[in-house]
Amino acid sequence: MGKQVNFYMTDSDEKEFIEFVQSDRSVGVFTYAMPTEELRLLSALPERGTPFWYSVYLWDRDNSPKPIVEYVPEQQYYVVEPLASEVIKFSRSYIDEGQLVRGRIWAETVGWHREDPARTFQKSEAFRRWFSRLASWIKRKGIRDHVGDFMLPGAAQYAKDGGRLAQVVFARGDEHIQKR
């Protein structure tokens, strides 16, 4: 069963979050899709507007096995299989046409065997604790909005100053995305 925490973050909130994520372990960060099956770990989050910048995966290299990668022939790229791998999906918050769009962290805590999808397995205790630790940080640092999503300090100030929040924006391409 998957777990998620929805939030609003500005650039400064995101920087602080990533520093926390990497504060006590070796964390691999990589984009959703890759040109080869080899994980290309990033030294920094991708710049906005580059392919797949919006959604990255976090991998606790100290405590979780290497993620399982699959080829998607229709798109001709490789992706991580999040149901079988111990990874946290980090969907980033961003400004779109004057609105701060909601992000989230999400992880599947129960995996499926690739050979027999009817069989499930519990992902490691270390992985589940790590997700809970990141979720707790967001909840501790943020305040809830009227629908229960968390606004980190920069995002809360953005809203207080009259900035609008959006739960979702329908895809139009990356050219409309602005810096926060």
H or E stretch covering 94: strand 94-96
Of the pLDDT bands very low, low, confident and very high (cuts 50, 70, 90), residue 110 is: confident
pLDDT at 179 over 70: no
pLDDT at 71 over 60: yes
Higher pLDDT, 1 or 104: 104
Residue 169: per-residue pLDDT: 77
Residue positions counted in the chain: 180
Band (pLDDT 50/70/90 cuts) for residue 170 is low
Residue with tokens 């391409």: 173
With 0-12 CB in 10 A as exposed, 13-18 as middle and 19+ as buried, what is 47? exposed
pLDDT of residue 111: 77
Which whole number is the average pLDDT over 160-173?
82
Where is average pLDDT lowest: 63-72, 82-91, 112-121? 112-121
The stretch 63-72 carries a mean pLDDT of 95
pLDDT beyond 80 at 147: yes
Query: Shortest CA distance to 163 belongs to which of 175, 180, 146?
Result: 180
How many CB atoms are closer than 10 A to CB 59? 23
Chain mean position to CA 55: 6
DSSP class of 144: E
Q: How does strand 77-80 pair with strand 33-34? A: antiparallel
Q: Give CA separation, 9 vs 24, 28, 92, 111, in Å.
A: 22, 21, 8, 29
CB 7 within 8 A of CB 142: yes
